[in-house]
Amino acid sequence: MTTLQLNAELYRAMGEIADDEALMAKVLKYVKKLAAKKNDPTLMTKEEFFAKLERAEQQIAKGEGMAMLPDEDLTAFLKRNGYGI
C-alpha cells in the first residue's frame, strides 16, 4: 500500500469512530505512543542490539574498551573520556 492509500484507509476508519469520544481518545493515545517511538533514537531491534553487544565484546577483546576507575562517578568518567558535561 502506498502512503496515500494508507492515509485514505486511516481517515475512512477514523470516520467510523469519530462520534465516539472514548474510542477517539484511545486512538489518540496510541498514535502519540507510536510517534514517540519514531522519534526515540535509542530504540533498536533485537538484531541491532545483539550486533552492538558483539562489537563491544570485540573492542574489549582488543583492549579498546573504556572502564570507570574505582570510586569514579559517571560525570567524572565522561569528562575524563572527552564527553564533557
Closest CA to 73 of 85, 56, 61: 85
pLDDT single digits (tens) 40-81: 778 888 999 999 999 999 998 998 888 899 999 999 999 988
pLDDT single digits (tens) 13-46: 999 999 999 999 999 999 998 887 777 778 888 9
- Model-wide pTM > 0.85: no
**Domain residue ranges in the chain:** 3-38, 46-80
DSSP readout, 23-70?
HHHHHHHHHHHHHHHHT-TT---HHHHHHHHHHHHHHHHTT----PPT
Q: Which amino acid is at 49?
A: F
